[in-house]
Amino acid sequence: MSRDQSRYCIALHPICDRDFKHVADELLYRAHGGAVNADITDPVIATARACSTAFYEIGLHALVGERLLYLNVSTDWLANPDLLPLPVEQVVIELPDCDFDANFWLDLKSAFDKGYKISASEQQLKRYGEPLFELTHIVKVDVRNSDVYALSQAYKNSGKTLLASFIESSEKLNMALSSGFDLLQGYFYAFPEQYQSSSQTRQGNRAADLKLLRSLYDPNCDINQIESLIAQDPHLCHLIFKRVNSASERRVNTINSISQAIMLLGFEKIRAMAATLLLANNEPIKRLLVFKLLVRAFLAKQLAHRTQNVEPEVAFTGGLFSFDGSARGC
């Protein structure tokens, strides 16, 4: 990973209620410090990097406390949310700006059923109508368009939460308030604030991380082997200790043993961290292979549930290492 490639960071754009109380933030990806736009070439990687920085490197509690976090996810995340598990109680899913196919609707309904709050833009609702309206909790409206104010009452009457975005003047702010908007966001009173991880390097050990994922899905794995593999990736090791000792975990004593951290966090959380770091890696060819490997692994696991001859965790391992020479190059 080159120095320039590892400079990505995140920004938070505050969201306030009608009393101007800071109640939520929109998580924004930035390719480097000082960038004013996202500059996203790969939505999957952008989601992984934003999640890795916010949830693992900085920590959600340290970043936003008890406030909600709005996160624009990729369609690939909706299809495979277990790759990057997000806290249902604190994360609002913002829908990507793309065409919605048949699989997207199934994935969105699954996220809705899991309890995620869904935020859709007024333009998306206008395009897709009732099917999307039924799955939407929050309607995000660009108030730069003067014709949107007439629609606000209809959304309010349907029980939707209205978020006025792109408030850039006192006039737009007053119009949003008088039109009954519940939430307010815009440059008029708050610009996005960038946050950079304190980590000195994001360089990981990809070979060890892939072996770690395989071992974590092995029902007969040995905890000593897990500990050894984690120790081979200093960046992952640092993030695990940061996570287990974070305020959200509410530990009385500081944990400084890898084996203790494994026991307290559990395999599921460590799997999520390892998968996220693999997806957030900056090498274009390798990150594509990693994503394909993880998708194959989860697909194999799901298929195994329909048979009686293969254990799901064994199938996951097989899927994870199902590529030929190209997979070994990761």
Q: Which residues of the chain have pLDDT under 50?
A: 1-5, 200, 282-287, 324-330
Sequence ranges of the chain with CATH classification 3.20.20.450? 4-195
Closest to 202 in 3D by CA, of 57, 59, 85, 58:
57
Rounded CA-CA distance 97/122 in Å is 12
What integer pLDDT is reported at residue 141 of this predicted model?
Answer: 92
What integer pLDDT is reported at residue 236 of this predicted model?
Answer: 79
| Single pTM value for the model | 0.65
What integer pLDDT is reported at residue 205 of this predicted model?
Answer: 61
Calculate ∠ Cα 118-164-111, nearest 5°.
5
Architecture of domain 4-195: Alpha-Beta Barrel (3.20)
Rounded CA-CA distance 122/237 in Å is 43
Rounded CA-CA distance 85/114 in Å is 11
Q: Do 240 and 258 contact (CB within 8 A), yes or no? A: yes
Compute the residue count for the chain.
Answer: 330
Q: Give the DSSP letter of residue 52.
A: I
Calculate ∠ Cα 292-299-113, nearest 5°.
110
Rounded CA-CA distance 255/261 in Å is 7
Task: Identify the residue whose tokens are 């195994």.
Answer: 304
Rounded CA-CA distance 97/197 in Å is 28
89 φ/ψ angles, rounded to the nearest 5 degrees = -75, -15
What integer pLDDT is reported at residue 7 of this predicted model?
Answer: 66
What integer pLDDT is reported at residue 25 of this predicted model?
Answer: 94
What integer pLDDT is reported at residue 203 of this predicted model?
Answer: 56
Q: Do 135 and 112 contact (CB within 8 A), yes or no? A: yes
Q: DSSP of 268-330, one letter per residue?
A: HHHHHHHHHHHHH---HHHHHHHHHHHHHHHHHHHHHTT-SSS-HHHHHHHHHT-S-HHHHT-
pLDDT digits (tens, 9 = 90+) for 143-163: 888 777 777 777 888 889 999
| 3 state DSSP class of 164 | strand
